[in-house]
Chain A
Amino acid sequence: MGTITFIEHDGTAHDVDLVEGESLMELATGNGVPGIDGDCGGEASCGTCHVIVDDAWIATTGTRSATEAAMVEMSPECAPNSRLSCQLKARPELDGLRVHLPEYQM
């Protein structure tokens, strides 16, 4: 077990238990974190689970794939550390991870 923290655009933080093997999108929607939609169910094809990984963590999570980039780079809020949280699988090394949510999901 461990914790992942989702920080809403207004600064509200939500700590969620890390469940190995689940995606961050599933952890967020499963725990009622507002601001993550996940409309396509985890196929990187809707762009509504956009998160911005904290600078301190980007080396551990890695940067976005080409598939993620095709979706997330269309958002005006896209940042260098933007990822689709459905493509981030929870694993023990991510205990303590902090991700920021954009103001809007597109």
Chain B
Amino acid sequence: MTPTESMLDRARTRVVDKVQATVPADRQVRAAHLVEKAKRLAGMSTPLVFTEEPIPDPADVPLTEIDVSNPFMNRQGKWNPYFARLREEAPVHYLADSPFGPFWSITRYADIQAVDSNPEVFSAEPYIVLGPPPLDIEMFIAMDPPKHDVQRKAVQGVVAPRNLKEMEGLIRERVQEVLDGLPTDEPFDWVQKVSIEITGRMLATLLDFPYDQRRKLTYWSDTISSTAEGTGGTSHQDDFYAATEELAKGFVALWHDKAARRAAGEPDGFDLITLMQTSEDTKDLIKRPLEFLGNLTLLIVGGNDTTRNSMSGGVLALNQHPEQFEKLKADPKLIPNMVSEIIRWQTPLAYMRRVARKDVHFGGQFIRKGDVVVMWYASGNRDERKFEDADAFVIDRRNARNHMSFGFGVHRCMGNRLAEMQLRILWEELLARFDRIDVVGEPTYVQSNFVKGYEKMMVQLTPKTVG
């Protein structure tokens, strides 16, 4: 660090500490953005840029140089063969240098489960993607117990099964509306018209966010989770700050609007903001701006890419395994198990990151205090030691529920039951309407080392013949 840079950093720390409790969230975001811009102008910070190049076969790369953080791995279909080699030859693998710094890769199912279940040794702090987020937003996914537990308990009621039961009818209606509006006479982009549309509606419903503005939720989430520095994605830091500031403003407004409507006698709904305002722990959350912002951002990002890409991935998997679609049509009772298999096969988030809190021997390697440890769920879900014929998509797979896409331990996905319910309803309603769901051409894939996702996937529907 240069003297100017460390001065800027010290100044920022002092200011952030002092204002955190008093200055509204959106202005805090803007202040952090200005500091970043100043650094960039002074040549003290250079944004990361990734350029796509063909990735060689894993057999042609020396083991020590294998870099599974390359954000083009998924797009080029290379993750699975690379992970297969790591699981065989170096299941606890060290990469000394990458655009995100050095890191360990854990690629076998049992090892990942062991790391995920041990927060005393492997910390989720300070962030859970490979590279640092531009701004320290306080999210409990990146906190260790006991602070994590307190924050999570405060909001998890909104996606708890009891609350979901109340919302199931509304969710089904909204899925039906989307499906009834789909064209059947020409191919269309499934990602835009189904996956994003349904996920956006669901988030708006959960948050009681203005329904006609729901695409904003998608935009904010996509932008925040796809910085080049964090996940090798395509959003520029300026876009990140702008989206975060807009999100902060939007949710502060939503909070006050909801408080006013409740004060005017509007009956309480099942949405997150109502839940926060009626719970003792969170009724004053608005006075803790960064925590407020963090919790909302986490819920939006957590419920966006994940379900969306499982909605697209299920269609692709059934197209690649057409006999499974026939099996499904013959026995729709398989839907719940198929939902687990879709989530396993897709693994919409490829990993979570941890940091060793002390020196530890693990899997025959010596991991030092402070080392970065990446748990590659995308690899664990394809581990033959756990799943027979693991690359195949088998809707009645006996142990599909054992997939690790939700993670294990205290950070296990809070929205897992909501995700399963959304996918179950989607497939129930699809089977009621369509005979064939054909993917036309090749889908295109998102640039990211974190989100295993689809940009575009053209689909042609064939309605069910009546009778």
Give the B-binding residues of A (Cβ under 8 A).
37, 39-41, 43-47, 70-71, 73-74, 76, 103-106
Most buried by A among B117, B145, B416: B117
B113 touches A43 (CB 8 A): yes
Does B412 belong to the interface (CB within 8 Å)? yes
A35–B15 Cα distance when bound, in Å, is 51
The smallest beta-carbon distance between A105 and chain B, in angstroms, is: 8
Give the A-binding residues of B (Cβ under 8 A).
113, 116-117, 119, 145, 149, 152-153, 156-157, 160-162, 399, 401-402, 406, 408-410, 412, 416-417
A41 touches B161 (CB 8 A): no
Partner of A74, one of B113, B156, B161: B156
A106 touches B408 (CB 8 A): no
Contacts of A105 in B (CB 8 A): 161
A106–B164 Cα distance when bound, in Å, is 12
Partner of B409, one of A41, A45, A76: A45
Residue of A nearest to B110 (CB): A43
With A45-B113, A76-B162, A106-B417: A40-B149 Cβ-Cβ less than 8 Å? no
The smallest beta-carbon distance between A36 and chain B, in angstroms, is: 12
B117 touches A73 (CB 8 A): no
Contacts of B409 in A (CB 8 A): 45, 70-71
A40 touches B153 (CB 8 A): no
Partner of A104, one of B149, B156, B160, B412: B160
A74 touches B162 (CB 8 A): no
B408 touches A45 (CB 8 A): yes
The smallest beta-carbon distance between A75 and chain B, in angstroms, is: 8
A72–B2 Cα distance when bound, in Å, is 48
Contacts of B416 in A (CB 8 A): 106
The smallest beta-carbon distance between B417 and chain A, in angstroms, is: 7
B162 touches A46 (CB 8 A): no
Partner of B410, one of A39, A41, A71: A71
B157 touches A46 (CB 8 A): no
In the complex, given contacts A40-B113, A76-B160, what are 12 additional A-B residue pairs having Cβ atoms less than 8 angstroms apart? Answer: A40-B408, A41-B399, A43-B113, A45-B117, A45-B412, A46-B406, A46-B408, A70-B145, A70-B409, A76-B156, A76-B157, A103-B161
Residue of B nearest to A47 (CB): B412
**30 examples of A-B residue contacts, CB within 8 angstroms:** A39-B401, A39-B402, A39-B406, A40-B113, A40-B402, A40-B408, A41-B399, A41-B402, A43-B117, A43-B408, A45-B113, A45-B408, A46-B408, A46-B412, A47-B412, A70-B145, A70-B409, A70-B410, A71-B409, A71-B410, A74-B149, A74-B410, A76-B156, A76-B157, A103-B161, A104-B161, A106-B160, A106-B161, A106-B416, A106-B417
